[in-house]
Amino acid sequence: MNHGFVRLVDYLGGDARIVQAARVSYGPGTKTFREDRALIHYLMRNRHTSPFEQVILTFHVKLPLFVARQWIRHRTARVNEISGRYSILPDEFYLPAPDAIRYQSTRNKQGRGEEMVPPELQQRVLEILCQGQASLYADYQALLQENIARELARINLPLSLYTQWYWQIDLHNLFHFLKLRLDPHAQLEIREYARVLANITKTVAPIAYEAFEEYVLYGVNFSRTEMEALRAILRGEENPLTGRARQLFEEKLNPAEQERPHQ
Instruction: Please list the active-site residues.
Output: 181
Instruction: Give the burial class of 119: count Cβ atoms within 10 A of its Cβ; 0-12 exposed, 13-18 middle, 19 or more buried.
Output: exposed
Rounded distance between C-alpha atoms, residue 168 and residue 60, angstroms: 9
Between the CA of residue 199 and those of 123, 195, 203, 258, what are the distances in Å? 33, 6, 7, 15
**Strand bridging mode 102-104 / 56-64:** unpaired
Q: Is 47 left (phi over 0), alpha (psi -120 to 50) or beta?
A: left
DSSP calls for 58-75: EEEEEEEHHHHHHHTT-T
CB atoms within 10 A of CB 171: 28
